Amino acid sequence: MDPLSVTASVIAIGQAVAAIAVGVRVLKSLSNTPTEFSALLNDLGMLQAVLETLQTSTSRPPTRSLTALQTLYEGLRRATTELDELAKRLLAQSKGLDKKGRHRIPRIKWWREKDNIAKLHELVQRLYLELSTCFAAVSASQG
């Protein structure tokens, strides 16, 4: 794989880390969150940690790992897009801020988003597992 592809892959990982961090920060500003949503936030945090570790620990991953990373990047891009859309839909339903400065989202709005939250959570869990496997392969190849 050429040096430009390596650079593009590392940049893509950095962009995914930043996008997930922004999405998590926005979603943490919401109140009345259901349990499923809290689980999604936890898994997003774990995914973000794996991405950050992968980004800082690889100077030049092996070619097969880069190919896997490029494939995973598409999934990450989809996850961050869905995360952003979910946040926008929920923020649009905000009834103002509570005493802690969090957006008040009616429970019915959460209920209507339950299936979307579950699908996004499933995607995040799959990406986490795939990235963890990729990170293990990169670490093994580097010593």
Q: Counting beta carbons within 10 angstroms of the beta carbon of residue 91, is it exposed (0 to 12), middle (13 to 18) or buried (19 or more)?
A: middle
In which element (H, E) is residue 109 found?
Answer: helix 107-112
Residues of the chain with pLDDT under 50: 1
Q: Which of 19, 137, 4, 142 is nearest to 73 (CA)?
A: 19
Residue 134's nearest CA partner among 52, 64, 49, 46 is 64
Task: Map residue 6 onto helix, strand or coil.
Answer: helix
Architecture of domain 3-138: Up-down Bundle (1.20)
Q: pLDDT value at position 96?
A: 92
User: Hey, what are 9's tokens?
Assistant: 């892959």
Residue 35: what pLDDT? 85
What's the pLDDT score for residue 57? 65
Tens of pLDDT, residues 58-89: 555 555 666 776 777 788 888 888 888 998 99
